[in-house]
Amino acid sequence: MTQPRTARTAAWVVGPLVLACASEACAQEAAAAITQTADARTLDRITIIGNRPSTLPISIPTTTETISGEQIERSINATDAEDALKYFPSLLVRRRYIGDYDHAVLATRASGTGNSARSLVYADGMLLSNLLGNGASFTPRWGLVTPEEIERVDVLYGPFSAAYPGNSAGAIVDYLTQMPRQLEAHVKLQGFTQKFSLYQTDDRFSGYQGSASLGSREGALAWWVNVNRLDSDAQPITYATRLVSAGTLGTAGVPVSGAVEGLDPRNRPWLLLGTGTQTRTVQDHAKLKLAYDFSPSVRASYTLGLWSNAADREAGSFLRDGAGQAVYAGTVNIDGRSYALTPADFTPTRTRLDHYAHGLSIKSSTGGTWDWEAAASLYDYARDEVRSPTSALPAAATSGAGRIADQSGTGWNTLAVKGTWRPGGSSGAHVVEFGAQRDAFKLRSLVSNTADWLDGAAAGRFSSFTGDTTLTSLWAQETWRPSARWRSVLGLRAERWRAFNGSLGGTAVNADGSPAAAIALPSRAESHLSPKAAISFQPSDGLTLKASLGRAVRMPTVSELYQGSIVSDAIVNNDPNLKPEKSWTGELSAEMARGNDTLRATLFAERTRDALYSQTNVTVTPNITNIQNVDAIRTAGLELAWQAEQVWLRGLDLLGSITYADSKITQNDKFPASVDKRQPRVPVWRAHALASYTLSSAWSGSLGVRYSSRQYGQLDNSDPNGYAFTGFSSFVVADLRVQYRLNRQWSASAGIDNLTNKTYWAFHPYPQRTWHAELRWDL
């Protein structure tokens, strides 16, 4: 929540349910532990009572929100780390199914679920965001955090801290995980199931999750071990389709039945022929954390994380011939029109991933004149292999030629040093923070042919793709408190960006049969400055006014810059001169706290030049479709967030928020049809609400409501039908959870997500009504 002024547990829950359903309140005021160190009526640096301080600069007078692990356990059916963000104002994670590892993108006020590189996600200060690209395939590595190990989640909205790069334009999320003070152990077992009925699918998809952790502190050394397994069988999420108009009139082809008639997102008649992706994912997580106190004020910490994933994706045809057999290939005839099927319509895949993360930091926390910190992290794709056939089902299910996509060697590393200077000591009016950072990203992708897509070795190269980027930064910001009621923060970030080692390779070979050298792509280098400013004033007890302004420069990622393909030994659809996104973001907030109630109203605005989107350049012949710069996007809106404790009934906590966002493309010379259209995947209204009721020391329950108005997936808003595959629909979804604590050690929970069994879409269909059951033991 937004810097609550009392040490009370942050109110949990629903803003008026009527508002949540009528517009779109996205809220989750869970700021149980945040409070001010001085009197509740002053504007001092906020700290965490009884817990570790946030790694985020939450002293900046701008919008921040928090939820504790205890609140997550009590009120949310959390199976993935991203579930913790389910009720935060203005946030949405597009998670298609439990265990979704490659498309769960975080959306914020002015950024949709296609803009993964416009937000930052950390775990204990270690970067989890995948900034190798921007979009659904480059999601944060959520699997490095399990719900059971979360101590707290902090969110800072907007690019208002000089300590973070331009990818912070949307929001910065940091997961703080458990670190014990004494011997403790936890075990949790969880099961979930949904009955999914859509088109020709009517089946049950289920899974389970098991987690165990053990930790302790002996003298200066603290340690923590956590292991987790998630086994999830998901509903189908993609479909093979054909426009009716694409069929050839006549009697050619095998007559088949089973195709489902419908309308595509542009309201054109089409046929759904079968499911393209139904995922079974088994994910193993292991984490070791060590912390050693060299003195009461100097601590070194190390984290080793492993995330392993075995995902099998199956496909199934709806089409049946006269004998009732499934049809996957050849030419078929549906209602007097013939259509050619290809292996790409029904393509199974086998994915095997082993990713490692290392984080090391040493930090001084004296609170005196000087403090310092040094941190480094490494994320490594030790194994990243996806296998798929090039022949058609059903024969391809057991053997046949195919391809292996191997990204082993891909990853990123970070290095940062930071200093804090308090000229007047802890009671002084000035605090100066400064630092230097270097973030490096490396993409290595090789697609090889293979004689056996299931088990065969890689043979000749089909394609290759490489590229590196680095961002080296210097930053400084000063916090000044001229009086107890005023606080200001001024900051500046200087960045030097480089892109190099870019190359694309194809099927060409040398005379001896070896792969021909990849075609090199040009290197790039740029420098930018990003100023930041924020100020707050408390005119009276309980009322705080805030204003923030910041510039963000979001550099092109490796995959955006070194895009393209090889045709006739030449690279096409590549733009080595892509410009970075440049945004100015501002917000004005008023917060009022009275008793156990807190109300915040925030006006926000963002102006982005050269936004990076995939689009078609219609000003050249032939038209080119690739990542391009959209000249200008303008967003303005209002966010209301409310929380209250002990409302109407003792034990009832409510929390809610509503966000209105008017986000439009104001200039796009390469694609004029998109001008004055809404930015894709940014709804006009978004709302979340949560009500939590503690009936007794043993029983508690919660009811949540999530709402979004309709969205568009296309820049020109040519997809008005959101209730279709590849569409983006509106939705109102309710979630229920009940928890019973048997004794101090044992507790049981049950819950339902999507209580009303709503069918809704964000390109893919979301899960339908899902039942949850949990059993937990705590030492």
| Greater pLDDT, 45 or 290 | 290
| Neighbour-count burial of 548, counting CB atoms closer than 10 A to its CB (0-12 exposed, 13-18 middle, 19+ buried) | buried
Distance CA 160, CA 533 (A): 7
Please tell me whether residue 101 adopts helix, strand or coil conformation: coil
Distance CA 521, CA 454 (A): 33
Distance CA 669, CA 199 (A): 40
Residue for token digits 């060299």?
294
pLDDT (tens digit per residue) in 607-645: 999 999 999 999 998 899 999 999 999 999 999 999 988
pLDDT at 439: 98
Residue-by-residue DSSP string for 707-747: EE----SSTT------SSTT-B--EEEEEEEEEEE-SSSEE
3-state secondary structure 276-311: EEEEEEEEEEEEEEEEEEEECCEEEEEEEEEEEEEE
pLDDT at 20: 31
For residue 702, what are the CA distances in angstroms to 153, 605, 753?
A: 19, 33, 12
Distance CA 739, CA 80 (A): 19
Phi, psi angle pair for 71, to nearest 5°: -70, -35
Name the residue among 164, 43, 175 with its Cα closest to residue 418: 164
State the first-to-last Cα distance of the chain, in angstroms, to the nearest integer.
Answer: 30
| Greater pLDDT, 26 or 222 | 222
Q: For residues 674-702, give the mean pLDDT.
A: 95
Instruction: Check pLDDT > 50 for residue 492.
Output: yes
pLDDT at 47: 29
Q: How many CA atoms lie within 13 A of 451 on its CB side?
A: 2
pLDDT class of 755 with cuts at 50, 70, 90: very high
Least confident piece of the model among 43-47, 85-89, 288-292? 43-47
Domains assigned to the chain = 17-360+368-778 (2.40.170.20)
pLDDT (tens digit per residue) in 514-528: 888 999 999 999 999
Tokens of 591: 């917060």
Instruction: Check pLDDT > 80 for residue 236.
Output: yes
- % of the chain at pLDDT higher than 70: 93
Least confident piece of the model among 7-11, 321-325, 563-567? 7-11
Phi, psi angle pair for 101, to nearest 5°: -105, -10
pLDDT at 544: 95
Tokens of 452: 């056996």
Q: For residues 569-588, give the mean pLDDT.
A: 90
pLDDT at 56: 79
5 secondary structure, DSSP code: S
Q: Pseudo-torsion of CA 53, 57, 58, 59, nearest 10°?
A: 100
pLDDT class of 29 with cuts at 50, 70, 90: very low
Amino acid symbol at 752: I
Q: For residues 161-165, give the mean pLDDT.
A: 96
CB 475 within 8 Å of CB 494: yes
pLDDT (tens digit per residue) in 385-427: 999 999 999 988 888 999 999 999 999 999 999 999 999 887 7
pLDDT at 510: 87
pTM, whole model, 2 decimals?
A: 0.91
Please tell me whether residue 559 adopts helix, strand or coil conformation: helix
- % of the chain at pLDDT higher than 90: 83
Bridge partners of 495, per DSSP, are 473, 528
Instruction: Check pLDDT > 70 for residue 30.
Output: no
111 secondary structure, DSSP code: B
Name the residue among 753, 749, 751 with its Cα closest to residue 770: 753
pLDDT (tens digit per residue) in 90-142: 999 999 999 999 999 999 999 999 999 999 999 999 999 999 999 989 999 99
User: For residue 642, what is the enclosing H or E element?
Assistant: strand 624-644
pLDDT at 722: 96
Beta strand segments in 75-125, E:
92-94, 105-107, 120-123
pLDDT at 292: 96
Least confident piece of the model among 203-217, 335-349, 438-452, 564-578? 564-578
pLDDT (tens digit per residue) in 336-357: 999 999 999 999 999 999 999 9
pLDDT at 511: 87
Tokens of 540: 């009276």
Phi, psi angle pair for 467, to nearest 5°: 175, 150
CB 119 within 8 Å of CB 170: yes
CB 189 within 8 Å of CB 175: no
User: For residue 340, what is the enclosing H or E element?
Assistant: strand 337-341
For residue 486, what are the CA distances in angstroms to 10, 426, 536?
A: 24, 17, 6
pLDDT (tens digit per residue) in 711-746: 999 999 999 999 999 999 999 999 999 999 999 999
Which residues in 490-511 are b (16+ Cβ under 10 Å) and which e? ebbbebebebebbebbbeeeee
What lies within 8 Å, CB to CB, of 107 at 6+ separation is: 91, 92, 93, 94, 113, 115, 170, 681, 682
pLDDT at 52: 60
pLDDT (tens digit per residue) in 296-312: 999 999 999 999 999 99
| Greater pLDDT, 224 or 569 | 224
pLDDT at 509: 86
Average pLDDT of the chain to the nearest whole number: 90
pLDDT at 53: 66
